[in-house]
Amino acid sequence: MTRSGLLVCMGAAALALAGCNHSAPGGSAADTSAAAGPAKPAATADENTWGNYLSEQGKLHGKDVGMKPYIYVIPGGDSVAANDRRQNESDSIVHSIGPILMPGGMLIVGGPDAKQTTVFITGLSKQLKADAMRGIVVMVVSDASEQAADTAALKASGATLRFVNM
For residues 44-55, give the mean pLDDT.
Answer: 94
The stretch 13-41 carries a mean pLDDT of 49
Whether 60 and 106 have beta carbons less than 8 Å apart is answered as no
User: What's the CA gap between 157 and 153, in Å, rounded?
Assistant: 8
Cα 165 to Cα 12, 21, 96, 97, 130, distances in angstroms: 27, 21, 26, 25, 26
On the CB side of 121, how many CA atoms lie within 13 Å of its CA?
Answer: 34
Out of 9-13, 66-70, 94-98, 143-147, least confident range: 9-13
Q: What are phi and psi of 140, to 5 degrees?
A: -105, 120
For residue range 60-76, what is the model confidence (pLDDT) as tens digits? 998 888 888 999 999 99
Confidence band of 122 (pLDDT split at 50, 70, 90): very high
| Model confidence pLDDT, tens digit, residues 79-88 | 999 999 999 9
Q: What is the pLDDT of residue 84?
A: 95
H helices of the chain, in order, are 3-18, 47-61, 80-96, 114-127, 147-154
- What 3-state DSSP class applies to 144? helix
Lowest mean pLDDT among 97-106, 143-152, 157-166: 97-106
Q: Which amino acid is at 34?
A: A
Q: Does the pLDDT of residue 115 top 90, yes or no?
A: yes
SS3 category, 114:
helix
